[in-house]
Structure 1
């Protein structure tokens, strides 16, 4: 593992953590909460600067970050203390961190699609040895419908072809100013129907944003499914990685191009946001639950007792991180 791999990974992870903490920070400031420190990293300070009552610091261990608010885990009489704000405001401050990770992932995916383009319902190429190359289809043909089924996206094209069981499919295509009907033979590959065409890629802000949103939502659904299977024992924990695993993955992505680094950064950001919403002590999800309980009870929870629970949760999470890191090292050497 080269020094450049580690540097790139730390930059990626650092930016994602800063985005997360910015969500907490700006929402806290919006609701008038006193923020004592905005820290990137853990452990001893290596740099700090104080401005408008907040100490902005960089710490030695690049393992996360945090903001330290007045009255967050202890009692405070300050009206600008976190624990003296309405529970709904506190919930908003806590949720803003993961939410910013989701927004950041969406922006990265949209930027990625602007760079590489989005597959559209236009023939970009014909594959050698497949039926389409023997048909009258040509590169640049826009596919309007297949067997009467409208196709407004490349996903519509592949889904319609793949689900068909016909030996011949009739394509309605637009070629310049002409509308043509073209019959194409099919073959079966991997249990699906295929004809052997590839898409044309277009770069446009509107469609890139749309695909960025779909990618974000789709990947969140996949992550939720994986977490559900993990907790129910229907999935192996081999897919879980720690800091060393992330550094290794970012290094692999960096060797194959900037676009892959963007993609992986978006995935890590989504993971960070989602994991933080789990109801585990010390994570944002658990803190939101405490605020919700107070909202329902109409009575404050002792912030010192809550802080103790989160402290125990943090210790357990650090032990889990050590275990996962050990597994990462074994995986790399194996």
Structure 2
């Protein structure tokens, strides 16, 4: 059923990558909200919007291109530059006389509790007031901290400085940035723990797990739960010992001493030769325990993080080159392949990808979370922030280089795909 397998692979890719991006952005979102930052948008995907719904202060959107996502925080883009001095505006006043809406249409006809005038000056960040000229007379108005700027069909909530990203302390900004990668590590831990709970925790005991039907072990009469004591008289103390002896004996017949239900017996097993590697078609033994599952989740997350960091180090030192890297195409392909191997394999792969995403984003590279954290460190050391224009230019250049890297590794993927 190739077509059914293709559909299954596509669904797996969408679910896995949607989950990774959602959890990453959720980390940013929750810690930003906790710090009191106005989050204008929580988006999955990039490009044009295909779905959006607004709840509270935040617009939740699904965008066309299934790559990445974002949490758009107040102060990160020039959304308030649409209001200028000398513009004719209409302001709507709430029952306390504060401006609740600023309508930028010069042809708008004022209704109840609305007045029209020319903007003399305004401060929507700190003082929260604005001065208008009304029929030759200047009048000052207080502005509500959640007032809306209205331009056509678009309404934008103003953001006082204490609601903007830049208006928060260094530590509040740090946690809002760091939380994205941190949530990816938490997701990996949860996935590995769930694997341990539902599929069992792999054990290194020299015991047989599931015995595959018609395999060499099954043909020799071996059963799940048998404990291997020795092979050809050589003691077997662990599963790794068992695998090492078997894998180095393709095509041979080995005498195994096992223990079953307290009784010892000897069995002759003819080892399968699969590309010069010996196999008896037996799965690793597993144990079922909530405590072991949690331990397995923590240890697996740590071990894979260490292995990925080691690989990054080898990439920097030149042990690996760009030709060895996989990009989106290769990762999508592998995700589809793992989806065919069962839920536990797919969950393990998703956990590893989540760790990769977390570590990659923590690299001190402009345009990544690690690059933004680096600028916060510089700000803490020098006692004042880096010029926003200069920081923006650095992030832009970093983003351009990242796009170039993605193009290179995507070309590698396509070349491998058709080779």
**Structure 2 length-normalised TM:** 0.63
SS of the equivalent of 1:26 reads helix
Q: Displaced runs of 4+ in structure 1, greater than 4 A?
A: 73-77, 125-129, 138-143, 173-176, 196-199
* Contact preservation (8 Å) 1:83, 1:303: no
Query: Which shows bigger deviation, 221-230 or 256-265?
Result: 256-265
Residue 175 of structure 2 is aligned with which of 72, 78, 92?
A: 92
* Contact preservation (8 Å) 2:322, 2:409: no
2: CA distance, partners of 1:59 / 1:328: 25
2: CA distance, partners of 1:251 / 1:198: 23
Q: Name the structure 2 match of 1:37.
A: 41
Shift of residue 122 of structure 1? 6.2
SS of the equivalent of 2:36 reads coil
Asked if 1:240 is matched to 2:325, the reply is: yes
Q: What is the 5 A alignment of 1:159-308?
A: 200-308=285-393
1: CA distance, partners of 2:417 / 2:43: 31
1: CA distance, partners of 2:32 / 2:23: 14
Alpha carbons of structure 1 residues 227 and 57: separation in structure 2 relative to 1, 3 Å: same
Q: Deviations over 1:187-228 (max 9, x none)?
A: xxxxxxxxx997532222111111121111111111001111
SS of the equivalent of 2:48 reads strand
Query: Which shows bigger deviation, 240-249 or 66-75?
Result: 66-75
- In structure 2, stretches of 5+ residues that fail to align are 81-124, 126-159, 229-236, 246-257, 265-279
* Contact preservation (8 Å) 1:73, 1:303: no
Once superposed, what is the RMSD of the aligned Cα atoms?
3.9
1: CA distance, partners of 2:216 / 2:326: 40
Query: Which shows bigger deviation, 299-308 or 247-256?
Result: 299-308
Asked if 1:25 is matched to 2:29, the reply is: yes
Q: Name the structure 2 match of 1:110.
A: 193
Shift of residue 139 of structure 1? 7.2
Residue 123 of structure 1 is aligned with which of 207, 211, 229?
A: 207
> Which is richer in helix?
1
Shift of residue 11 of structure 1? 2.1
- In structure 1, stretches of 5+ residues that fail to align are 144-150, 162-172, 181-195
Aligned residue pairs total 309
Shift of residue 175 of structure 1? 8.7
2: CA distance, partners of 1:217 / 1:78: 39
Between the two structures, name the one with larger relative contact order (CA 8 Å, sep ≥ 6). 1
* Contact preservation (8 Å) 1:119, 1:154: no
**Structure 1 length-normalised TM:** 0.78
SS of the equivalent of 1:46 reads strand
1: CA distance, partners of 2:77 / 2:375: 12
